[in-house]
Chains A and B, each alone.
Chain A
Amino acid sequence: MLFTPPDPEILARRDSIIAALKAIVPDGVVEVATDLSAYESDALPAYRERPLVAVLPRNAEQVSRILRYSAEAGVPIVPRGAGTSLSGGALPRADGILIGMGRMSRILEIDYENRCVTLEPGVTNAAITRAVEAEGFYYAPDPSSQIACTIGGNIAENSGGLHCLKYGLTTNNLMGVKFVLPGGEMIILGGKAPGAGGLDLLGLITGSEGLLGIVVEATVRIIRKAPVTRTMLASFDAVPDAGACVAAIIGDGLVPAAMEFMDRATIGAVEAYIAPGYPDAEAILIIDADGVEAEVSDAMARIAGHVVACGGSVREATETLARAKMWAGRKAAFSAMGRLAPDMICMDGTIPRHALPRVLEGIAGMSKRYGLGCCNVFHAGDGNLHPLILFDAMKEGELAEAEAFGADILRLCVEVGGVLTGEHGVGIEKRDLMPEMFSVADLDQQHRVKCAFDSGGLFNPGKVFPTLSACIEQGHIHVHGAQLPRPDLPRF
């Protein structure tokens, strides 16, 4: 079962909940079933649920009042940005308020002297770069959904992207937030000055998947665009050779701005889709080097040396157009898969780079065993795999088989010393696999942290943690003041 059954007592109060929300946001309550269906799922469409009601605040004060109401009324909250989560992070609850942050979408300040932008959570990732690129700056984290996904969602999921090997994930590029806690109080964490001046709660809430509160304002770091960027396409006749090449490049002290892997199945699908002109090969790597001219020349020469030594061949692009074409295939990889099968699941484990050949071999074996196709496209530089499992949900039992296949892949990732998710989040999708990676004591500790923010267990319940007892059972001493609402009800 995905969630505990909806609380009939909350369902019975729907009208009064809607009235209370309308009093806070008169022009932003969605209550009609057909309108609510827009919020039924995020980018993990295998799971669907219609929210009790959706509310679309316009400012921090409204967010604060909504959260105060939710705490007083004991109604669960599910935060949502653009709904591009691949792990079901924004999957609603039938007995919960969905709070959509899309209308808070202003860029508030661009401060080049302090190299930062302050913005509301509903601004899209790509819009940050668009706002500063005329001055030669950009925002580094670049998840593939960047034209749609919002900074609020990026913070909730600690989103990565193609370039995070060199430039880090969201957490490494986020300087401060205004954050509304369950119960409605607002705190300020970080800002334009370096460091925390206390516990690093900013680091804690980043990637907390909507379990701890809601970001109503963020300050992010911007970076000057490197003067030179070059792209190399390396092709290999055998997958293990490509894996060995990745290890050789990293081991040589090179930190490419990006290093992406695609296997034969992916290359074929992408060629059929937008014909970027990829070579006929078992595996390719697309590698970006950026920096000053001499730095890039040096890096490119050394990388080419490793490619050849590993039995591969090299093609290089320096012109913007040629580079864009090389990257277009990678960026279209997920869309291209749509031609191979009606449905797919994208996994997201990270492994130590030396384990690449072993894990790729293991995935190939599982693919045969399950009788389901699997394409591999991933961020090779940081060992973040994205196996795409192909299936047809209309065929009896295939979704369950695909999910079992995915779970087996993640178990293998953990077995070789890796993790369940590198950038997509646990959400609903990988929730029940958490014990594969964490002991009871590990999960208890995380649960206590959750309780420190949300003693009522009202924030995005049912996500991330497999089973959560009430906070009180953790021996937790809550300092916030809120009473545990309706302690008789199972919340998770």
Chain B
Amino acid sequence: MTRVSSESQIVDFVRAARAGRSPFEIVAGGTRRGVGRPMASHEGKALPVLDVSGVAGIIDYQPEELIVTARPGTSLAELKALLAAKNQCLGFDPVSWTFLTPPPFASTSAATGTSPASAPMRAQGRRASDASTLGGAVSADASGPGRLRHGPPRDSLLGFRAVNGFGEAFRGGAKVVKNVTGFDLPKLVCGAFGTLMVLSEMTFRVYPRPNARATLILRDRAPDTGFAALRTIWKSALEPSGLSYIPGSAKFPGLGDVGEGAALIRFEAAEMPLSEKLAAARLLVGGAEEISEGDRIFTAIGEGALFQNSDLEVWRVSVPPAEAARVAGAIGSPHWLGDWAGGLLWIGARGEDAPRIRALAMETGGHAMLLRAPASRRAELGLFAPQAPPLAALTASVRAAFDPLSLFNPGRL
């Protein structure tokens, strides 16, 4: 375990790793170490760990520019609080996947000799939502129900600084909201799971945070009619900030009896527009009841609370929204829910369901991400299904363009 706190220290570490042909694992808050294919050296040993949790702190925040620049190790909780104080927020609704991280990371931390003061260990002692970092959330493309409104991390990340596998510090993008100068490298950062570079600085577009919010619930809806109601709102001009469906079979904590299932619709706006939106939504989807605990429920959906106390394998299945009910039915697990108007299905499944889940996702043009499973299963199935050969070759080429020796999180993605 090597702890760094600056870009120049990252450069030194990468150059040494490059000289020694020694791949390593990049860790900040450590809350997502159990996601993706387990990593190991060529000899099958645990990898050295680069602890970047010290590359933290806000560099520049200009509320009137709607832009914030921070180091990737900055805690999400800290950044959210800073923005909230100015009535602003991150657009992609970052989530920590709090309930999916099975503490402690016994295998990894034992193998890497983690010291008690190190960040990954701290994550065990603290709530994951406090340890979770900006860089981790973006690298894992981890966004919650609110992503519906302002898009995924890729729509918010404007620029970054990082160190590539050549040990060179470089930048991509910029610190303005509109920029097409050179290749759009910030897009590649999002969802790369740390396989391209070690980040040292990130600049985001931020959004005004409306002062009022409300959630409507439609009870006793079967999946097809429930998702259809969500899509009706999604296709409207009402700009919802949450459209989720929870089947009765899921027994979602704190939601009570919802019959066949519940369609949840959230809006955020100033007060007057909010009541107009609620009235318009009711005209579109019929008698919907307003509930007060909406934000708590949407937070729980985004964090994966449904799977907190289960030992099922957990999938995030991305499908065209109109296919959600059919795909969920075909998978057949009672433990599931739908988010993003149906574009995302959270599925809890038994091991034997994996091939069917992957096949169904692929058939719709989507994909299935294995978010939680035992290490052996993650090694077998990978985070995503293998890509078609030309795309796999191109992906390998692009990856080699940043990290030709596969030093960073090798094999994870």
A residues with CB within 8 A of B: 111-115, 157-158, 160, 164-165, 168-169, 171-172, 176, 181, 185-189, 191-204, 206-208, 223-227, 247-248, 250-251, 253-255, 291-295, 297-298, 350-354, 379, 382-384, 417-426, 430, 434, 437-439, 441-446, 448-453, 464, 475-481
Contacts and interface: CB of A to CB of B under 8 A. Distances in A.
A221 to B, nearest CB: 10
Nearest to A383: B176
B128 to A, nearest CB: 22
A338 to B, nearest CB: 26
B318 A194 contact: yes
B115 interface: no
Contacts of A208: 183-184
Nearest to A164: B178
A420 B180 CA distance: 8
Given A225-B237, A441-B170, A197 B343 contact: no
Given A198-B413, A426-B182, A294 B272 contact: yes
Contact of B166 (A165, A171, A475): A475
Nearest to A202: B187
B318 A350 contact: no
A451 to B, nearest CB: 7
A201 B369 contact: no
Given A200-B190, A292-B280, A423 B395 contact: no
Contact of B170 (A227, A384, A442): A442
B397 A291 contact: no
A445 B170 contact: yes
Interface in B98-117: none
Contacts of B398: 199, 201, 204, 449, 452-453
A307 to B, nearest CB: 16
A164 B176 CA distance: 13
Contact of A200 (B172, B175, B188, B401): B188
Given A176-B365, A196-B191, A453-B397, 16 more contacts: A114-B321, A171-B184, A187-B388, A193-B343, A195-B152, A195-B318, A197-B366, A197-B385, A292-B277, A294-B273, A298-B272, A352-B65, A419-B174, A423-B180, A448-B402, A478-B397
Size class of the B contact interface (CB-based, 8 Å): 35 or more
Nearest to A447: B401
B31 interface: no
B318 A420 contact: no
A438 B176 contact: no
A43 B176 CA distance: 26
Nearest to A115: B235
Contacts of B320: 111, 114, 191-193
A405 B200 CA distance: 35
Interface in B57-74: 62-67
Contacts of B164: 445
B16 interface: no
Given A187-B388, A195-B367, A225-B237, A157 B177 contact: no
Contacts of B393: 479-481
A295 B270 contact: yes
B367 A197 contact: yes
Given A113-B321, A251-B63, A193 B366 contact: yes
B172 A224 contact: no
B391 interface: yes
Given A350-B177, A426-B182, A192 B365 contact: yes
Interface in B238-291: 238-239, 269-270, 272-273, 275-277, 280
A424 B181 CA distance: 9
B365 A291 contact: no
Contacts of A248: 64
A79 B400 CA distance: 26
Given A479-B400, A480-B397, A382 B178 contact: yes
A423 B178 contact: yes
B371 interface: no
Nearest to B317: A193
A204 B184 contact: yes
A51 to B, nearest CB: 25
Nearest to B277: A292
A426 B181 contact: yes
A419 B179 contact: yes
Given A193-B343, A194-B340, A199-B395, A445 B172 contact: yes
A420 B171 contact: no
A452 B269 contact: no
B243 to A, nearest CB: 12
Contacts of B48: none
A420 B181 CA distance: 6
14 contacts: A115-B235, A164-B178, A169-B178, A187-B391, A199-B196, A201-B188, A255-B208, A294-B275, A352-B65, A419-B176, A419-B179, A423-B178, A448-B401, A479-B394
A200 B319 CA distance: 17
B272 A254 contact: no
B185 interface: yes
Interface string B398-411: 11111010000000
B180 A295 contact: no
Contacts of A255: 207-208
A452 B236 CA distance: 41
A198 B318 CA distance: 12
Given A168-B155, A207-B184, A452-B398, A198 B384 contact: yes
Contact of A417 (B175, B319, B395): B175
The 7 closest A-B pairs by CB, nearest first: A203-B187, A197-B367, A193-B366, A253-B208, A251-B64, A192-B320, A295-B273
